[in-house]
Amino acid sequence: MSGTLVGRVSATIATVVAATTLVACGGGSGAGDGKVKLSIGIFSDFGYDNLIKEYQAQHPGIEVEQRKVKMEQHHTQLATQLAGGRGAADIVAIEEGNVALFRQSKDKFVNLADYGAKELKSQWAAWKWNQGTTDDGNFVLGLGTDMGSLALCYRRDLFQAAGLPVERDAVGELWPTWQDFLATGDKFTAATPNVKFVDTAQNVYKAILDQTEEGYFAKADDSFIADSNAKVADAFKLAASLGEKKQTSALAPFSQDWNVALKQASFATTTCPAWALALIKAGAGDEAAGKWDVAAAPGGGGNWGGSFLAVPKQGKHPKEAYELAKWLTAPEQQKRIFKETGNLPSEPAAYKDAEVTSTVNDYFNKAPVGQIFGNSAENLKPTYRGTKDSKVTPVFNNALQRVETGKQSTSDAWDQAVREARDAAK
Amino acid sequence: MGWWDTKYTPYLAIAPFFVVFGIFGLYPLLYTAWVSLHDWQLIEGSQGFVGLANFRALFVDPNFWNALGNTVSLFVLSTVPQLVAALGLAALLDRGLRGRAVWRAGVLLPNVISVAAVALVFAQLFGRDFGIVNGVLGVFGVDPVDWRAETWASHLAISSMVVWRWTGYNALIYLAAMQSVPKDMYESALLDGASRWRVFWSITVPSIRPTILFTVIVSTIGGMQLFVEPQLFDPGGTATGTGGADRQFQTLVMYLYEKGFRLFDAGYSSAIAWVLFMLILLVALLNFTLTRRIASKG
């Protein structure tokens, strides 16, 4: 009797231990049907749904699973998975603002050059290719997906109510520079004081910074220069002045409230990289179809966003993962993604293609988005992203928000931001 | 064999818990302590032993003290009303209501709804421009409140979320305890002419003293670890993780998250985790003594 009880108890312990080990080992096990299972970790809309179906049809031995989470969460998760040595998808997307940070941990990623990625170099705009590589181009961390050349979206009906021009060319001519943009804002606010001129100071600030060659960190040695780079200070002051004048809606960009404000038409303009069109359409809804339009951004071209597909070393099928990433980022596929989601190709062969340049966006009053963004891509000079860019950026965004909500003066907010940024960049 | 059996079997029987706790509780705790003594980057791992440097930095870090202040404020604002309301609710549920089971199950409903969904709904309620709360305030001529920008307003909004979620849960625990209070005590008190209020304070509350103690300690632990509600209330979300543009509602766990998972400083983050652990022990102990003393006076 006693023997069986002890036996039962130890059996229980054994079961518990076995169960916990099983849990620990769960996931990542090979497929039973002999298929190679690939997972791809992305955020927001990469437009891969149909492409993946097609790829699976062409490659019967491969099964692809998409894992979508929110952008910030995606990168945090990826960092933990790399640190823990397990759990990362076979292919992971890394956003432009974060790529410098992950370049530092290149030992956790497969060098795609080992599989011949260097031969693909000529496909991309040179700067896009360089962002995804390190070690003088010998280590290929990721293959470029889309890019985010800049435009300015505005609401036609609100501009009309304020007595401003409505047609996109005339609107673009209102603001060759950001100073002109501010002046337009003053006119707009004087005529229709109940509508905010622009969504948030943060987005204006980001757009101006994206038109400069250097931001928070020096191109030469990655050193912290936010406190001495006059361009950062000027961009901050210009954006903050919109907040001080209460011409912004003071909402966090792309948040739930931002969507509500879009729906309620409570702001008239927003800076819009190519990928933002889908967000505006989703937020403003069908009833605003034809009311939004796309004009040239003040200050010329700039790049905001765009991602890379990388292959973490911990995956079991690096070769198959590379093949899929290569296919997904090829010009032919980039063109199709543009048609589907509006994400702008990062490859000249794709964004100069007649199919792309002739594309109009019905929702945005038939704006010739292919031309607008394609042109902007041609003139684009990318900003240097420091390794710690993603750590410093939120500090300045918070500072602008403090100005917008009237909690701090521009100069106090700036001082605090620089102090905090210095800490974050340590 | 019989002697061996009675002496050791009970230990074996409770061992699974401690084995599991050892693996999933104690080991991470000790490992965190080890990490906190290093300059430890999240992805790259240890960059060298630094002793107590992380802790020394922590105690002069204004952001840490700010987060601690916010945590305590949110803890008091949510725990006190929550437990008082739960006690009252339980006393009401304890009466012979019609459709008793429905009411009792009903109070638990807020608790079974996913916290993410709750945060989403409350974020809308407390929207600045189009939120219902501001809409109602507007009817009474109150100016719209920027619930995320103001410190006190954000604390109130977040506490309301916590109170809403946990009051019913605690009420059910109190109710279960109240059911075991002998009914003849109530009867004799009422016969002696005691008011319901008096009966509640002199009989019900002292009788469920251990249960109150339990809920106070559990809420203390929960309150000190407050994370999801304020994190989801932050419109910047995990992008900033600072709990508002001025860190006005950043709790300790949010600060831990910011340092560890956004700034990748795992060593510093582990130091925060350990300080938090000690703080919880301390506050729980303090609550334990206080509650015991108050309850025994009744």
- pLDDT tens string A286-330: 999 999 999 999 988 888 889 999 999 999 999 999 999 999 999
Please give the ipTM for the structure prediction.
0.82
CB-CB neighbors (< 8 A) of A260 in chain B? 127, 129-130
Asked whether the predicted pLDDT for residue A389 surpasses 80, the reply is yes
pLDDT band, very low/low/confident/very high, at A21 (cuts 50, 70, 90): very low
pLDDT band, very low/low/confident/very high, at A22 (cuts 50, 70, 90): very low
According to DSSP H, which parts of A112-253 are helical? 126-131, 156-161, 168-174, 178-191, 201-209, 230-244
Name the minimum distance, in Å, from the CA of B167 to any CA of chain A.
Answer: 28
Tell me, what's the pLDDT at B1? Answer: 57
pLDDT band, very low/low/confident/very high, at A32 (cuts 50, 70, 90): low
- pLDDT tens string A268-283: 999 999 989 988 999 9
Q: Could you give the CA distance from residue B171 to residue A19 in angstroms, rounded to a whole number?
A: 35
Whether the Cβ atoms of residue B129 and residue A257 lie closer than 8 Å to each other: yes
Closest CA to B108 of B155, B156, B174, B160: B174
Closest partner residue to B20 (CB to CB) among A20, A402, A424 is A20
Q: State whether A46 and A99 are in the same domain.
A: yes
Contact A16 B19 (CB under 8 A): yes
Q: State whether A247 and A201 are in the same domain.
A: yes
CB-CB neighbors (< 8 A) of A5 in chain B? 5, 9
Closest partner residue to B16 (CB to CB) among A13, A70, A408 is A13
Structure tokens at A163: 């007595």
CB-CB neighbors (< 8 A) of B237 in chain A? 70, 72, 252, 255
Q: State whether A325 and A296 are in the same domain.
A: no
CB-CB neighbors (< 8 A) of B122 in chain A? none
Asked whether the predicted pLDDT for residue A20 surpasses 80, the reply is no
Tell me, what's the pLDDT at A17? Answer: 41
Asked whether the predicted pLDDT for residue A7 surpasses 50, the reply is no
Whether the Cβ atoms of residue A240 and residue A9 lie closer than 8 Å to each other: no
Mean pLDDT over the full length of chain A = 89
Contact A80 B124 (CB under 8 A): no
Q: Could you give the CA distance from residue B156 to residue B122 in angstroms, rounded to a whole number?
A: 12
Asked whether the predicted pLDDT for residue A214 surpasses 80, the reply is yes
Asked whether the predicted pLDDT for residue A381 surpasses 90, the reply is no
- Chosen for mutation from B11, B262, B265, B270 (greatest number of chain A CBs closer than 10 Å) is B262
**Residue A163: inside a domain, yes or no?**
yes
Asked whether the predicted pLDDT for residue A33 surpasses 50, the reply is yes
* Domain count across chain A: 2
Contact A105 B43 (CB under 8 A): yes
| B39 Cβ contact list (under 8 Å, min separation 6) | B46, B47, B48, B50, B53, B267
Q: Which of A314, A333, A358 is the last residue of a domain?
A: A358
Instruction: Tell me the C-alpha to C-alpha distance, in Å, between residue A296 and each of A146, A266, A277, B234, B266.
Output: 19, 22, 14, 32, 43
Burial class of A346 by CB neighbour count within 10 A (0 to 12, 13 to 18, 19+): buried
Closest CA to A180 of A295, A302, A303, A291: A295
CB-CB neighbors (< 8 A) of B241 in chain A? 394
**Residue A104: inside a domain, yes or no?**
yes
% of chain A at pLDDT higher than 70: 92
Q: Which of A358, A379, A397 is the last residue of a domain?
A: A358
Report chain B residues touching chain A, CB-CB < 8 A. Answer: 1-2, 4-5, 9, 12-13, 15-16, 19-20, 23-24, 42-45, 120, 123-124, 127-130, 146, 149, 235-242, 245-246, 261-264, 266
Q: State whether A181 and A258 are in the same domain.
A: yes
Name the minimum distance, in Å, from the CA of B170 to any CA of chain A.
Answer: 31
Contact A394 B242 (CB under 8 A): yes
Strand partners, A36: A62
Q: State whether A155 and A224 are in the same domain.
A: yes
Whether the Cβ atoms of residue B233 and residue B249 lie closer than 8 Å to each other: yes
Q: Could you give the CA distance from residue A193 to residue B202 in angstroms, rounded to a whole number?
A: 62
Positions in chain B whose pLDDT score sits under 50: 298
pLDDT band, very low/low/confident/very high, at A28 (cuts 50, 70, 90): very low
Whether the Cβ atoms of residue A146 and residue A274 lie closer than 8 Å to each other: yes
Q: State whether A257 and A314 are in the same domain.
A: no
Asked whether the predicted pLDDT for residue A265 surpasses 50, the reply is yes
**Residue A5: inside a domain, yes or no?**
no
Q: What are the strands of the beta sheet with A267-273, ordered from one edge?
A: A196-198, A267-273, A150-155, A292-295
E-state strands within A251-393: 267-273, 292-295, 307-310, 344-345
Closest partner residue to A2 (CB to CB) among B1, B42, B239 is B1
Strand partners, A200: none
Tell me, what's the pLDDT at A314? Answer: 95
The CATH number assigned to the domain holding A176 equals 3.40.190.10
Report chain A residues touching chain B, CB-CB < 8 A. Answer: 2-3, 5-6, 9-10, 12-13, 16-17, 20, 70-73, 76, 79-80, 82-83, 101, 104-105, 108, 249, 251-252, 255-257, 260-261, 264, 266, 391, 394, 397-399, 401-402, 405, 407-408, 424
Q: State whether A156 and A142 are in the same domain.
A: no
Q: Average pLDDT for residues A51-60, to the nearest whole number? A: 95
**Residue A124: inside a domain, yes or no?**
yes
**Residue A131: inside a domain, yes or no?**
yes
**Domain of A393, in residue numbers:** 149-302+361-425
Q: Average pLDDT for residues A376-403, to the nearest whole number? A: 88
Q: Average pLDDT for residues A208-227, to the nearest whole number? A: 93
Q: Average pLDDT for residues A133-139, to the nearest whole number? A: 93
Q: Could you give the CA distance from residue A321 to residue A68 in angstroms, rounded to a whole number?
A: 17
Q: State whether A177 and A137 are in the same domain.
A: no
Instruction: Tell me the C-alpha to C-alpha distance, in Å, between residue B295 and each of A296, A426, B24, B213.
Output: 70, 51, 35, 9
User: Sign of the C-alpha dihedral, residues B133, B167, B218, B295?
Assistant: positive
**Residue A173: inside a domain, yes or no?**
yes
Max distance between CA atoms of chain A, in angstroms, equals 94
CB-CB neighbors (< 8 A) of A249 in chain B? 129
Q: State whether A192 and A107 are in the same domain.
A: no
**Residue A28: inside a domain, yes or no?**
no
Q: Average pLDDT for residues A121-135, to the nearest whole number? A: 92
Q: State whether A188 and A293 are in the same domain.
A: yes
**Residue A8: inside a domain, yes or no?**
no
Q: State whether A126 and A265 are in the same domain.
A: no
Highest mean pLDDT among A391-395, A408-412, B113-117: A408-412
Tell me, what's the pLDDT at B100? Answer: 86
Q: State whether A241 and A324 are in the same domain.
A: no
